[in-house]
Amino acid sequence: MWRALVGDIRSPGSSESRLFAVAVRFGLLAKLVTVGLCTVLGVVATTGSARTAIAVIGSSLVVWLLLRLRGLPDAIALCGDVALAALVGLSAFWLGPPTVISWGARVAFLCAVVAHYDWPRSARAAWAVSFAAIGGYAAGTVAVGPLPEALGLTALLTIHTALARVVFVVLRATARAVDHAHERIAEQQRQAAVATARRLAEREALATLHDTACTTLMMVSTGAAQSDASWLPARARRDLDALRRRTEITGVVDLADMLHEAEFDHRVRLAAGISGPLPTSARAASAILYGVREAVVNVAQHAGTDVARLRAGRTGDTVWVELVDNGRGFDPAQLPARHRGIADSIQGRCAMAGATATVRSAPGRGTTIRWEVDAAGSDAPARPPNNLARFIKERMFDGYRAGLLCVVLTELVVACVKQIADGGMGGFAAWALLAVVGAGLSVSMVTGRPIAGPLRRLGLVAIGAASVVITPAVPDDPVLLGTHWYVGLVGWFVIVLLLDLPLPVIGVVLAAHAGWLMALVAVHGGSAQDLAAVGLVPVGVTGFQFAVAAALVLIRRSATEAAQLAERDEAMRREAAVAAHTHADHTRRYAELSREAVPLLTGLADGTLDPNSEETRTRCAIEAARMRVLFAERDAADDTLIHELRAAIDVAERRGLTVHLAVRGKPLAIPRDVRRTLIQAVLNGVLTARTSARITVLRTGTHVRLSSYCDDAVHTAGPPPSHPDVDISTDTEGGALWVQATWPPTPARPPARTSTTAPPETPEAPGRTARTETAAGRSAERSLSP
């Protein structure tokens, strides 16, 4: 608390700096207007040297404030503020005792109190100005007036200054809390946005991979290029482009153009009927185009026909594309999960891009796939409701009202002390009424229940009643009236009660109160001078209160704008974070592809690899299977290892291999990179087989061992994958190829058993002929015969 009251402050957040900006501007303006009016009234109300002093000091203060509004260096502004505050305080020397005219008291009060809003960034500067005003005032009044009264007035000024500081600290704490809360929310939103974007980009990338490289490599591996390989280089180049491109798609494109320019599977003759232009979001167009491409490949591979019809057009705000074939059709409900072309590329990707894809097919009845998306321009996405502005408004409003309530309650206590000194039943009754309203406001604040409707009217009636009840007790002497507790207190009550209403309503009520005070003096038949002196009271007190209310209302009203600004800043930060992450992901994915897929496709594109050589086909199969495992990783499966392994085996079976899979033991939680390595290791073995292979998975409670064994390997596969936690060993003997992969690595075997437990050995085979390669190099050596 002490630090908050006197210490300098850190760099402010957005709500906080907005509070500061408004505080400085309204502090200066309130001071300027109030001092100006008070000075005019003071000059009217006085004569002689007092009038001269008021005119000189008042006008120099006004000029100074105008200068400050135009902007001055901090050091000069502070020196001037301190000097003028001291001068205002010392004005009592020329004005006489404070009871004669209240100009000095009013203006000193303004200087001391408003300093804390003038200097929001530096508590020291604020206190320097305040103490100059208070000190000057104390010196002036003590010098010219009766001592007890001078001390009382100085104490009152000090209390008000301290109160102003407390209110400022509460306001600042509120703004900071709002900033913190906002930052927290924004941080969570940013993380969520990054996670979502990464997931979407990952899906997009995998779908692209499936449609491009994986399909091409599968085709090469199954010998699709045997009769005619002319289509292959162009397709491989297109795939390479697709893999290199970042999946970051924005803007509007003409889908009709894209469909015209697109290359589809050469095996299908497409009868196209496309009526453009078809403006769609680039994202949706890209999703649909990829989907059509994949669907045409499906026609070539599964439909048993080489003719299809592609139509596209626009109906109202909907752009649609339709691919129809009269092939053998299928039952969409019976599609095996491993054949994921339809599921992912066509429908899943469309859903991501805001389009829909529907597949209608039945055995023997052909297949119709229809894509639909809103035409660009008609699909302005509705912005999600911006809760931030409301959040800031509510939080700040509560905080400000709490600050003002502090003022009210403190003033209430001060009033009680004064009332006891004054005596009089009317005063006590009015105080009691206001105390009840104050209690009501406090309860509302603590319980968080707003005061509105009948309750608010009841409060206003109670304040009005207090004003009526106290009338006989209110002094008609302007000087005494100016220092009566009732005058300042009622205004604060009105503001706290009405703070969430429009500013004019607050202004009217405060003005009515000021008019009431003027009327009280007027009915007692005061002179023009008296009226001017009385005018100082509503101008000095109520005017200041109105300025405070105006500042708070302004801050509240600008919350929406501030929230939008904050949201825009945040959106930029979010985009930057998303871009950074997705770019890193893309780089990582491309690096993975660069190991095998990219060299393979490059070789197929420039003709340096023979697509019909056994080695190329095997490499293609291995890489396609690796990709299949990536796709399978996204499925929810009970036994992830086996699910992913089956996806890889599927590729081998499509090449015509017979694969026997035997699994023993219960599923084990295995990290994803380890699963990839294990599967990749045995896959390298299986895909080199000529006719058949055996894959086994053996899981004990702690270890998992994958093995592939074939006795008719065509040739050795490429280098096995490596992973620090996976032991991979490869044995070749004659035509047999045996790959074992174990996770985690088994510790080095204990030395051979003692002869008593050894079984009767038959003579050793003469020397080992097996060639053994080990990967990952960890404890992979096997103990030889005992």
Is there binding between residue 762 and another protein (CB under 8 A)? yes
Stretch in the footprint of another protein (CB under 8 A) among 294-302, 403-411, 468-476, 758-766: 758-766
Residue of 694, 723, 745, 780 interacting with another protein (CB under 8 A): 694
| Size of residue set near another protein by CB under 8 A | 38
The smaller minimum CB distance to another protein, of residues 261 and 764, is found at 764
CA 480 to chain centre: 57
Query: What's the closest the beta carbon of residue 693 comes to another protein, in angstroms?
Result: 11
Which region, left, alpha or beta, applies to residue 41 given φ > 0 means left and ψ of -120 to 50 means alpha?
alpha
Residue of 51, 617, 675, 705 interacting with another protein (CB under 8 A): 705
Stretch in the footprint of another protein (CB under 8 A) among 174-182, 488-496, 564-572, 735-743: 735-743
- Is the CB of residue 4 less than 8 Å from the CB of residue 171? no
Amino acid at the residue 671: P
Residue 147 burial (CB count, 10 A): 9
Is there binding between residue 743 and another protein (CB under 8 A)? no
Residue 69 burial (CB count, 10 A): 14
As given in the structure block, the two tokens for residue 657 are 């291999």
Is there binding between residue 696 and another protein (CB under 8 A)? yes
d(CA 483, CA 396): 32
Is there binding between residue 763 and another protein (CB under 8 A)? yes
Is there binding between residue 786 and another protein (CB under 8 A)? yes
Query: What's the closest the beta carbon of residue 657 comes to another protein, in angstroms?
Result: 17
The smaller minimum CB distance to another protein, of residues 8 and 781, is found at 781
Helix axes 454-470, 425-447, angle to 10 degrees: 160
Is there binding between residue 735 and another protein (CB under 8 A)? no
Is there binding between residue 283 and another protein (CB under 8 A)? no
d(CA 376, CA 364): 37
- Is the CB of residue 104 less than 8 Å from the CB of residue 61? no
Stretch in the footprint of another protein (CB under 8 A) among 301-309, 314-322, 415-423, 768-776: 768-776
Query: What's the closest the beta carbon of residue 665 comes to another protein, in angstroms?
Result: 4
Is there binding between residue 740 and another protein (CB under 8 A)? yes
Is there binding between residue 643 and another protein (CB under 8 A)? no
Binding mask 463-502 for another protein (x = CB under 8 A): ----------------------------------------
Residue of 425, 768, 777, 781 interacting with another protein (CB under 8 A): 768
Stretch in the footprint of another protein (CB under 8 A) among 233-241, 257-265, 415-423, 729-737: 729-737
The smaller minimum CB distance to another protein, of residues 299 and 695, is found at 695
**Helix or strand holding residue 142 (H, E):** helix 123-144
The smaller minimum CB distance to another protein, of residues 557 and 660, is found at 660
**Where in 650-669 is the site for another protein (CB under 8 A)?**
660, 662-665
The smaller minimum CB distance to another protein, of residues 130 and 730, is found at 730
CA 625 to chain centre: 39
Residue of 15, 91, 222, 707 interacting with another protein (CB under 8 A): 707
DSSP 483-522: H-HHHHHHHHHHHHHHTTS-HHHHHHHHHHHHHHHHHHHH
**Helix or strand holding residue 527 (H, E):** none
The smaller minimum CB distance to another protein, of residues 468 and 770, is found at 770
Is there binding between residue 784 and another protein (CB under 8 A)? yes
Q: Which residue has the tokens 């970042």?
A: 246
Residue of 146, 576, 770, 781 interacting with another protein (CB under 8 A): 770
DSSP 9-70: -----HHHHHHHHHHHHHHHHHHHHHHHHHHHHHHHH--HHHHHHHHHHHHHHHHHHHHHHH
The smaller minimum CB distance to another protein, of residues 184 and 664, is found at 664
Query: What's the closest the beta carbon of residue 655 comes to another protein, in angstroms?
Result: 22
Query: What's the closest the beta carbon of residue 737 comes to another protein, in angstroms?
Result: 10
Is there binding between residue 684 and another protein (CB under 8 A)? no
Residue of 257, 477, 731, 773 interacting with another protein (CB under 8 A): 731
As given in the structure block, the two tokens for residue 347 are 């429908």
Query: What's the closest the beta carbon of residue 668 comes to another protein, in angstroms?
Result: 11
Q: Which residue has the tokens 């055995």?
A: 363
Rounded to a whole number of angstroms, the distance between the first and last alpha carbons of the chain is 80
**Phi then psi dihedrals of residue 600, to 5 deg:** -60, -50
Is there binding between residue 759 and another protein (CB under 8 A)? yes
Query: What's the closest the beta carbon of residue 783 comes to another protein, in angstroms?
Result: 8
The smaller minimum CB distance to another protein, of residues 435 and 663, is found at 663
Is there binding between residue 750 and another protein (CB under 8 A)? yes
Question: Distance of CA 459 to CAs 440, 538, 548, 549, 554, Å?
Answer: 9, 22, 21, 18, 24
Q: Which residues contact 11 (CB under 8 A, 6 or more apart)?
A: none
Residue of 738, 775, 776, 780 interacting with another protein (CB under 8 A): 738
Question: Distance of CA 125 to CAs 73, 129, 310, 338, Å?
Answer: 13, 6, 77, 73
d(CA 357, CA 345): 10
Is there binding between residue 698 and another protein (CB under 8 A)? yes
d(CA 291, CA 298): 10
Residue of 386, 594, 700, 722 interacting with another protein (CB under 8 A): 700
How is residue 689 annotated by DSSP? Answer: B
Residues in the site for another protein, rule: CB under 8 A?
660, 662-665, 694, 696, 698-701, 705, 707, 709, 711, 731, 733, 736, 738, 740, 749-750, 753, 757, 759-765, 768-770, 782, 784-786
